[in-house]
Amino acid sequence: MDMPAIDNYSPDPTKRRLKISIRYHDTGAVFHQVRYLDKKLSNDGVLELMWCEWNRGSQRESQRFLNAQVRNMMVSDTISIQEGGVRGPTKHYICEMVGWRELGAWPGDDEDISTINEAVSRVAL
C-alpha cells in the first residue's frame, strides 16, 4: 500500500496541516503547535483564531495559553504559518495596531524574517 508523503499527511482530507509558531517580540518566547484546520479557513482566519486563543477575555482562550501563563499577544508579536510538512511554505505575520501584516513586502522585512526564522527553528516551548 502506498503511503502519502509525511510532509503532506493529514488524517482528514478536508483539513490542512499547519505548523503555527507564535513569537513574543519582547521575551523571544516561541510557542509551536501543529493544527489540522479546515481547508476553507484562510490564513486571516487562522490569525483570528490564534489571536482569540492567546488573549485573555476572548472567552476562547486555549488551554496551552492558560498553562503557559504568558501575557496577551500584542503589537509586534509574530505568527508564522507553515503549510504542510517541514519543507512546506511559511508565511510570517506581524501584529500591528489594527490587524496583521504579512512580512516580506516592506524594507527591513527580510531582517525581521531572518530573526523570526532563527527563533522558530529553536527548541519548542
pLDDT in tens, 48-92: 999 999 999 999 999 999 999 999 999 999 999 988 877 788 899
| pLDDT score for 5 | 43
Rounded distance between C-alpha atoms, residue 91 and residue 73, angstroms: 18
100-102: strand order across its sheet: 30-38, 15-23, 78-83, 90-95, 100-102
Full-prediction pTM beyond 0.85?
Answer: no
Contact 76, 101 (CB under 8 A): no
Q: Are 82 and 19 in contact (CB under 8 A)?
A: yes
| H-helix or E-strand spanning residue 101 | strand 100-102
